[in-house]
Amino acid sequence: MADNSRQMKAVRFEKTGPSSVLTVVDVPINNPGPDQVLVRVHAAGLNPVEVLIRSGFFPVPPSVQIIGTDAAGVVAEVGSNVKDYKKGDRVVIYAKSPAYQSGTYAQYFLADPDMLFHLPEKYSFEDGASLGIPFLTAYYNIVLLARAKAGEVVLVNGASGATGLYAIEVARAMGCKVIGTAGHENGLALIAEKGATAVSYKASDLMEQIKAAAGPNGVDIVLETKPSNLANDLELLAPLGRVLLISASGKVDQVNLGPVLFKQLNIRGSSCFGATAAHYKLMRVGLEDALKAGAIKPVIQKVYKLDEIVQAHDDLEHNPVGVAGKLVLDLS
């Protein structure tokens, strides 16, 4: 229940459209129920799915006016039945749905305990806000769906964004050889810094470079952000290879599916929002363990103040300098 005597700043939209529909308003702070946690949000991660919601391409119930799935902050209040979190704990937030009743673009977020992860002191709130969708997508696809094994070759197309960079870390931690593509020098440098072979997708000899980096047996796993790359993926894959499609944006030309049959390939669409309860438990363990071990190295491209939300969404939609890490909203 909302307490009208307590107000917070939040980003809201009352109709879908361009970034200009986003406004900063004062709204009541919700009180936690017995099984809930109220978190004071310090930073929120900006994700492409939120552009789709704001634009009307990803329909959500009319009641959803505050968007956002990822954030980090400090526990402010806990319900009487909550045992794993206490006031003052630093936490990562993953709301589990892009259409949650009231999202993370706000100074307070009312969470179920299974939406939270403990955030060690070594990580900033901006770091924590970069984790939710990007890290869990990488872990879900590389570890749980593709079941990557040591020695396999993983190709990450569009690897300079947060999801791609985390995918490189996850795959390399499993003993895989990783190739990452990007279209600009900053992104290629980040991919190389993470220990992957960096290839420009603008190169005229793109396929030759990837084949040379993969070696004679080809690519075992492709984490794909553009369906238009599917024909190339099928050519690059080794027998029993698998494509994990994590975006449906863009058009696909007619594709020869012969390699799918002859090489017994697997093409799978995936969204971490659709993970089963059993998979989500494993995803939680993967993120918690990686945070405790200090194994995650977030890359923050830019942090925006709350009153810069329109510019932030413009950059999220049409990044003028190319994607190179995570865009974050400062709510401190």
Domain coordinates in residue numbering, the chain: 2-131+298-330, 134-273
Confidence of residue 253 (pLDDT cuts 50, 70, 90): confident
Share of the chain above pLDDT 70, in %: 98
Rounded to an integer, the average pLDDT of 39-46 is 98
With 0.75 as the threshold, say if the pTM is over it. yes
Alpha-carbon span 92 to 7, nearest angstrom: 22
The owner of tokens 């794993």 is 84
Residue 2's pLDDT band (cuts 50, 70, 90): low
Over residues 257-263, mean pLDDT: 94
| Torsional class of 147: left (φ above 0), alpha (ψ -120 to 50), beta (otherwise) | left
Of 3-7, 20-24, 140-144, give the lowest mean pLDDT range: 3-7
Fold of 134-273: Rossmann fold (3.40.50)
CATH code of domain 2-131+298-330:
3.90.180.10
pLDDT, tens digit, for every residue of 50-83? 999 999 888 888 777 899 999 999 999 999 999 9
Task: For 274-321, write each residue's pLDDT tens digit.
Answer: 999 999 999 999 999 999 999 999 999 999 999 999 999 999 999 877
The 266-269 sheet, strands edge to edge = 197-200, 177-182, 153-156, 219-224, 237-245, 266-269
Average pLDDT, the chain: 94
